[in-house]
Each structure stands twice: as structure tokens, then as C-alpha cells.
């Protein structure tokens, strides 16, 4: 009897040890989020949302899946990559990944960061296990600092440069001449969409033809630089003296706590009379010009006969070639059509048409097909790699938006999707890739003709 009790106690003890070991070998995960800097935030001030994911497993079998973060009343710019990290907790090593998102509040009041769910596949002694963790939500106050009470439209940045240029660089024109004014504002730790339009309206005697603004965001080693370029072409319509207005903008550096002003000077223009200027045909004050009828000279009929004879002779040659070598010519034409249909240009045109048709599924499919047909981006296998190699933050955001539209949860598919911005961003990245590829080819020198010399 005592022997049976002893055997039963041994079995219970072994089961307890087995269960304890199994529980200890099951990996767990933690997620956390933090907004930097601490304290109140200013409207349009850049802050960082640091999101961490940690696990006590041996290793990740794949990168943790960070979701597309959306915060109401703020612009969120995802990072290009994450940072690996390790922590010691209760004598045990935890490994993880941290990603830092740039957040720009756009209104006062509460800024609520929702809880973030992150998942990953973790490898341990029992194999690969899927784990998930959820961070706590965050609440911060967004205010307008008292120092900005008189400068509500000030740009929040640590450094700002304002410049302008004129093409041509002259201050004396004639009626009918054109001059182009370009204003460039560059700011750090902000995004281009928050930079204001600075070109003012000018005088009646100068007709304006503004260009579309060019917005550019660049990230380098965690530092963000935004650039906005506005251009307008003026056509001088009346003689006289004009002054293109000066431009100024206020900006505030949160670290220094100072409001500063950047300014560029005005330009005086003198417009002289131009007797050769025909004027605007829609202007009732424009003098009417007499139209002169030009008659065909007598030699014109001979020219027409000669041209017709040459065209007929070329037609006969083409007909003879088609009868004698028609099969070969048709094969060449077919091969050429197949080559054109399978070219990088054709695949890019399919992608552009899908974007202009506002079809997100076709846009993703044709974008992946085009990426497989071009050679400018070596080693690129995913859209994220493509966006990261060109270093274009706006393209990364648009690709993330497309993924969220197609594969995200709680997406209202009844809302229309516009692909125009994505088509424009990919076209820009395509041009950049071609320039880099061309520059690389130029840098490759020829081998010497006589190596032994």
C-alpha cells in the first residue's frame, strides 16, 4: 500500500515538473507606446510615438507586424525601418523591435493614441509560436503656446530657410515678356503638407500663371526635412513700374522658445512699351491686326505632282517587299508588338491607368507587375523595399494607405479611393531611379586597351 502511494506521488511530481517546464517554454510578448517629448504639445509640433514590441522567445521567425497607425486630429508619418533592442526583465533577456512614428497634431484639445496590437512569430524550443500583445492607449493635451498667440500660422520647426529666384534675373522687361518667380521654403522636423503657400497676388498689369506646388519630404538618419516650392510666371501686359511684393513667414523653435521671422525682399520691375506685342486676343483694347492672304505661287502645282509621284513610288516598293518578304516582315512586326507589350513602359502605363481609374486592387496588381519588369532598383523585391530605396516618405505613406485599403480591418470600402497621388509618387520615384541608374552607368569606366603598358 505504501509502495503504491509512493509511486503515485512520484507520478504527480513528474507531471507538475512537466507542466511547469511547458509553461516556462511558452513565449510571451509585451507591447508599449510612448509619446515624446513629455508634457503638453503644440499644434503642428512634431512629436515621436515610440512603439515597442518585446518577447521572451529565442528569436523572431519574421519581422513583427506593426499596424498602420491612424490618430484622429493628427498627421502620422511611419518610419522607414525599426530598431532592434534587448531588455533584461527578472533576470531574463527579452528581445524586441521599436518603431518611431512622427506625429503632427493639427488641432487643439485631446490627442488620443489608440491601443496598438502587434503580432509576431517567435521561435523557441517547442518550435514556432504566434504571439500578440496590445499597448495601452495614450492621451495628451494639444495647445497653442502663449508665445504664438499673435502668430497662429507660424511654422513649428527647428530650422527654416526661405529663398527665391527669378528667371530671367532682370528687372526691366517689355510688354509681352515673361518672368518667373520661384519661392522655396525648407524646414526641419516637419512635413511639406504643413508648409503654407507664400506667393501673393500681384498687380493687374501682370497676368499670373501659377504652377502646381512641389512638396518634398526627405528623411536621413532620423532627421526630417520638408521643402515646398511655389512658382508663378508673370506676363507683362501694360507698361509701367511694378513691385513684386516681399514675402515673410514666422516660425517657432520649441527648443529655443523663440518666434523668428524669415523674409525675402521685393523686386522692382520696369515694363517698357513693345510695338511688336500683339496683345491678348481676348482683351477688347487690343488693336485688330489685318490678315494678309497668301496665294500659292505658280510652282506649287509642280511641287504637288512631284510629291504624289514619290508617294506612289514608295507605295510600289512597299507592296513588292510585302509580297516577297511578307512572312518575315509580319514576324518582325509581331515580335516588336510583343516586346512593346512586355516592356517596362507598357507595364507602367497599365499601373497608371489603374490608378486613374481609382481601382485599388488593379493598382496594387499592376504596380507589383511593373516592379518586376524594371532594373533601376536592384535587389528590390517588395513595395516597402522600393519605397525605402528611393527615400520618399510620401510614397511609403501612399503604399501603406493602399495596403490598409485592401487588407486592413474595419475599412469602409464604400468610400472611394483616389489613385492620382500614388501614380504621381511612383512616377517621381521612377524618374529618380532612372537618374541614379544612369549616373551609376557613367561611373563605370572602360578597361585600358593595353593593360601591360
Residues 202 and 205: their CA atoms lie apart, in Å, by 8
Gyration radius of the chain's alpha carbons: 33
Q: Please choose, from the candidates 256, 76, 40, the residue with its C-alpha nearest in 3D space to the C-alpha of residue 160.
A: 256
Report strand pairing: 178-188 vs 223-236: antiparallel
Nearest to 85, CA basis, from 51, 108, 112, 62: 51
What are the tens digits of pLDDT across the range 353-383? 989 988 888 888 888 887 777 666 656 667 7
Q: How confident is the model at residue 72 (pLDDT cuts 50, 70, 90)?
A: very high
Q: Is the dihedral of CA 78, 79, 82, 85 positive or negative?
A: negative
CA separation for the pair 431, 414 (Å, rounded): 34
Cα dihedral: 8, 14, 18, 21 (round 10): 140
Given a cut of 60, is residue 23 above it in pLDDT? no
Q: Among 39-53, 209-223, 262-276, 331-345, which range has the highest average pLDDT?
A: 39-53
Take residue 21 and report the three cell numbers written for it: 517546464
Name the pairing type of β-strands 172-174 and 267-272. parallel
pLDDT digits (tens, 9 = 90+) for 293-345: 334 444 556 678 888 888 988 888 888 887 777 767 776 776 677 667 778 88
17 pLDDT tier (thresholds 50, 70, 90): very low
Is the pLDDT at 196 greater than 60? The verdict is: yes
Per-residue CA distances from 116 to 69, 254, 448 (Å): 8, 28, 60
| Residue in 124, 120, 141, 127 with CA at minimum distance from that of residue 31 | 120
Cα(92)–Cα(27) distance, rounded to whole angstroms? Answer: 12
What is the tens place of the pLDDT at every residue in 389-436? 777 788 888 888 887 777 666 555 556 778 888 888 888 888 887 777
The predicted model scores a pTM of: 0.53
Please measure the distance between the N-terminal and C-terminal CA atoms of the chain and give it in whole angstroms: 100
Q: Does domain 24-144 have CATH number 2.60.40?
A: yes
In the chain, what percentage of residues exceed pLDDT 90? 26
For 253, the grid coordinates are: 523653435
Backbone angles phi, psi at 168, to 5 degrees: -75, 160
Residue 439 has pLDDT above 80, yes or no: no
Closest CA to 163 of 182, 144, 177, 147: 182
Rounded to the nearest 10 degrees, the angle between the axes of helix 393-407 and helix 360-371 is 130
Asked whether residue 123 carries a pLDDT value surpassing 50, the answer given is: yes
**In sequence order, which residues have a C-beta less than 8 Å from that of residue 40 and are 6 or more positions away?**
140, 141, 142, 143
Pick from 134-143, 192-201, 292-301 the range whose average pLDDT is largest: 134-143
Residues 6 or more apart whose Cβ sits within 8 Å of residue 453 = none
Region 204-224: what's the mean pLDDT? 86
Average pLDDT over the chain, rounded to an integer: 80
Name the packing angle between helices 420-443 and 383-390 (round to 10°).
60
Topology of the domain comprising 148-272: Immunoglobulin-like (2.60.40)
The CA distance from 181 to 235, in Å, is 11
Instruction: Look at 209 and 325; give whichever has higher pLDDT.
Output: 209
Amino acid at each position: 500500500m505504501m509502495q503504491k502511494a509512493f509511486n503515485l506521488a512520484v507520478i504527480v511530481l513528474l507531471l507538475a515538473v512537466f507542466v511547469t517546464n511547458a509553461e516556462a517554454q511558452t513565449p510571451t510578448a509585451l507591447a508599449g507606446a510612448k509619446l515624446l517629448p513629455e508634457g503638453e504639445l503644440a499644434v503642428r509640433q512634431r512629436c515621436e510615438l515610440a512603439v515597442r514590441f518585446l518577447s521572451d522567445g529565442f528569436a523572431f521567425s519574421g519581422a513583427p507586424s506593426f499596424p498602420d497607425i491612424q490618430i484622429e486630429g493628427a498627421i502620422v508619418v511611419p518610419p522607414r525601418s525599426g530598431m532592434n533592442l534587448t531588455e533584461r526583465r527578472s533576470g531574463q533577456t527579452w528581445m524586441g523591435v521599436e518603431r518611431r512614428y512622427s506625429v503632427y497634431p493639427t488641432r487643439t484639445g485631446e490627442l488620443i493614441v489608440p491601443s496598438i496590437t502587434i503580432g509576431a512569430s517567435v521561435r523557441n524550443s517547442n518550435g514556432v509560436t504566434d504571439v500578440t500583445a496590445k499597448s495601452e492607449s495614450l492621451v495628451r493635451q494639444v495647445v497653442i503656446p502663449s508665445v504664438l498667440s499673435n502668430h497662429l500660422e507660424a511654422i513649428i520647426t527647428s530650422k527654416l530657410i526661405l529663398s527665391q529666384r527669378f528667371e530671367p534675373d532682370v528687372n526691366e522687361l517689355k510688354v509681352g515678356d515673361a518672368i518667373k518667380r520661384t519661392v522655396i521654403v525648407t524646414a526641419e522636423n516637419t512635413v511639406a503638407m504643413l508648409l503654407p503657400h507664400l506667393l501673393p497676388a500681384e498687380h493687374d498689369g501682370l497676368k499670373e500663371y501659377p504652377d502646381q506646388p512641389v512638396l518634398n519630404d526627405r528623411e536621413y538618419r532620423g532627421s526630417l526635412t520638408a521643402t515646398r516650392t511655389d512658382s508663378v510666371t508673370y506676363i507683362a501686359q501694360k507698361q509701367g513700374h511694378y513691385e513684386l511684393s516681399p514675402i515673410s513667414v514666422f516660425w517657432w523653435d520649441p527648443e529655443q522658445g523663440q518666434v523668428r521671422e524669415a523674409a525675402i525682399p521685393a523686386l522692382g520691375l520696369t515694363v517698357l512699351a513693345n510695338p511688336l506685342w500683339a496683345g491678348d486676343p481676348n482683351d477688347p483694347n487690343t488693336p485688330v491686326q489685318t490678315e494678309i492672304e497668301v496665294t500659292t505661287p505658280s510652282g506649287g502645282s509642280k511641287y504637288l505632282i512631284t510629291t504624289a509621284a514619290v508617294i506612289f513610288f514608295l507605295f510600289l516598293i512597299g507592296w513588292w517587299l510585302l509580297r516577297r518578304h511578307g512572312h518575315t516582315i509580319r514576324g518582325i512586326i509581331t515580335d516588336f508588338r510583343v516586346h512593346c507589350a512586355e516592356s517596362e513602359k507598357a507595364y507602367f502605363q497599365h499601373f497608371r491607368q489603374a490608378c486613374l481609374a481609382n481601382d485599388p486592387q488593379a493598382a496594387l496588381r499592376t504596380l507589383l507587375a511593373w516592379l518586376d519588369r524594371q532594373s533601376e532598383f536592384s535587389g528590390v523585391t517588395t513595395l516597402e523595399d522600393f519605397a525605402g530605396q528611393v527615400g520618399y516618405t510620401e510614397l511609403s505613406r501612399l503604399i501603406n494607405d493602399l495596403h490598409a485599403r485592401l487588407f486592413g480591418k474595419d475599412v469602409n470600402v464604400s468610400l472611394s479611393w483616389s489613385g492620382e497621388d500614388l501614380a504621381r509618387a511612383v512616377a517621381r520615384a521612377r524618374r529618380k531611379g532612372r537618374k541614379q541608374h544612369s549616373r551609376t552607368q557613367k561611373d563605370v569606366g572602360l578597361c585600358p586597351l593595353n593593360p601591360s603598358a
